[in-house]
Chain A
């Protein structure tokens, strides 16, 4: 069984502050994918990043950066110079093979509600 833990239920920051969202995962798979999704108040899930378990390079995309550490099973997400529009629920997810081997299942963490105050 695989599991994703997002220990931070809610985070509140003031605009322009940096904020890090934590994600810890458990899996027995040797090959897996990690994802981050953003869910704004409108409800749709917006894909942010996918990371292959063999690629431990950190990634930066504009104000977003991700730190993947296989040794600690963590895939943390940092927003630099946060903006009000970043307010949303953020989900970390893990894609691993089902025990039946029929398909990959995407397992989500419980989400972190980020509120950026003006």
Chain B
């Protein structure tokens, strides 16, 4: 069964902390994505990567960075967490035809 795995289901962090959200896929997909989901706004693209060490900004990259050192792993980094980054974060991978999503990480910044 193909999978996208997000390391944490729930996370609580303090304002100013550096936060790492990890995502691993086992489908050998070139493309990986990080989305943020907020009520009434749907899913908005933060960053994506189309190859190892390659990345492009999505619609709302401010306050975030990403890392893709290996094909199967795509990390989202909050350099200094703020309360407005409290949200559900969803990772996805794609072969430009189909998309597979992880179960999401609900991050709360206090």
Residue contact A45 to B90, C-beta cutoff 8 Å = yes
Chain A hits for B90, CB < 8 A? 45
- Asked if A13 CB lies within 8 Å of chain B CBs, one says no
* Size of interface on A: residues with Cβ below 8 Å to B: 25
Identify B42's interface contact among A50, A98, A104, A110, CB under 8 A. Answer: A110
Among the interface residues A6, A45, A95, which one has the most CB atoms of the partner chain B within 10 A? A45
Q: Is the interface of B mostly helix, strand, loop or mixed?
A: strand
**A27-58 with Cβ < 8 A to chain B:** 33, 35, 43-45, 47, 50
Query: Which residue in chain B gives the minimum CB-CB distance to A98?
Result: B56
With A43-B88, A98-B56, A102-B50 as known contacts, state yes or no: A108 contacts B43, CB within 8 Å.
Answer: yes
Chain A minimum-CB-distance residue to B96: A104
Cβ distance A36 to chain B, nearest Cβ, rounded Å: 12
The interface of chain B, by Cβ under 8 A from chain A, is 30-31, 33, 35, 40-45, 48, 50, 54, 56, 58, 88, 90, 92, 94, 96-99, 101, 103-104, 106
Given contact pairs A91-B42, A108-B42, enumerate 10 new A-B contacts (beta carbons under 8 Å).
Answer: A4-B42, A43-B104, A102-B54, A103-B30, A104-B96, A106-B33, A108-B43, A110-B41, A110-B42, A111-B42
- Which A residues form the contact surface with B (CB < 8 A)? 4, 6, 9, 33, 35, 43-45, 47, 50, 91, 93, 95, 98, 100, 102-111
